[in-house]
A = this chain, B = another copy of it.
């Protein structure tokens, strides 16, 4: 399987890191992305510009390949299904992508499979939200096409409903959680499963984006075991081949609820490139190329800070403070080949390692205070 012709739909930073993990095995990777300046363009052995949502483009991209995967869910699933029928190996499976693309289907899937998740009500339009005003306070989520904070809003009381989405969505009870956790699961072609240690995510106060995370999460052993178990059950329920990133809420009494999942490498696993024997990216290749899964052994505690474009700057990116970071032991900046910065654009991340947790946390603060992505 190492000699397969492999396609990735999407050439963003997740695709870039998939590519990097593929270099050691000399994998023959072809990347499709609508942006001629996508992060992958610089090092992809084969790069093609084109829409991920156009049937013909995706079909034609895939028809001469053996294995196709994704780094973003928003792709033309019909084209992938047609390719699958012709015998191409498409992982994650198109049926799984379709389920996960729609948050409404995703939530019902948890319910049907007895997977713990916050209570919810499906809504067809704004009118429907008004009818269910008694369910508030709740999160109102678009069924499809939400991404990085777009398509999710909190509705506290009836007065907020005027801003509710007109499109099909859902209302989800706001869980009074204490922590947000994530577990990345890999399931290979043979059905073998491994998980990475549970991570604890700290979200940006305004944006629905991970600001930084710690691995492993500082949680009770029983909670860790429960989180791992639920993540595995979720991957089993989907019968996914590839990675499944499972985002979880932990309540004050240690209950674990599934927030949402992503069938691909995930922001909550970037640190595994440096901190674990097998990275999430290599694990994805192993899973979809019918190889044995690798050890997820962590070399020590780690943290990951997302590097977002500084608010109010737009233009050619300047990375202020890189030298300070590079002068600090085991601080690993990772930039995404994005020429242009914008407010809060994901421009890179920084992995930080330290055997001592207190020192690790000091380094996280140091990193957050000392690097900025600005423009002239």
Q: Which residues in A have some Cβ–Cβ distance to B below 8 Å?
A: 2, 16, 19-20, 23-26, 42-43, 45, 277, 286, 291-292, 294-295, 297, 299-300, 319, 322-323, 326-327, 329-330, 332-337, 353
Contact = CB atoms under 8 A, between A and B. Distances in A.
Contact of A292 (B2, B23, B25, B323): B323
Nearest to A26: B335
B329 A291 contact: no
A326 to B, nearest CB: 5
Given A2-B322, A297-B329, 12 more contacts: A19-B43, A20-B20, A24-B332, A24-B335, A25-B333, A25-B335, A26-B42, A26-B335, A292-B327, A294-B326, A294-B329, A299-B299
A23 B20 contact: yes
B42 A2 contact: no
Given A292-B327, A326-B292, A330-B295, A23 B2 contact: no
Identical chains bound together, number:
2
A254 to B, nearest CB: 32
A107 B286 CA distance: 48
A280 to B, nearest CB: 16
A326 B286 contact: yes
Contacts of A353: 277
B337 A26 contact: yes
A333 B16 CA distance: 20
Contacts of A300: 299
Nearest to A335: B26
A373 to B, nearest CB: 12
A286 B331 CA distance: 13
Contacts of A319: 2
A323 B43 contact: no
Nearest to A46: B42
Nearest to A39: B26
Contact of A45 (B42, B329, B330, B335): B42
12 contacts: A23-B42, A23-B43, A24-B332, A24-B335, A25-B335, A26-B336, A291-B326, A292-B323, A294-B326, A294-B329, A295-B330, A299-B299
Nearest to A19: B43
Nearest to A299: B299
Contacts of A295: 329-330
Contacts of A299: 299-300
A25 B336 CA distance: 8
A121 to B, nearest CB: 45
Contacts of A20: 20, 23
A24 B16 CA distance: 10
Given A297-B330, A330-B277, A291 B2 contact: no
A24 B20 CA distance: 9
A295 B330 CA distance: 7
A319 B16 CA distance: 25
Among A26, A300, A335, max chain B CB count under 10 A is at A26
A292 B326 CA distance: 7
A299 B353 CA distance: 11
Contacts of A16: 23
Among A291, A292, A319, A336, max chain B CB count under 10 A is at A292
Contacts of A24: 332-335
Nearest to A324: B292
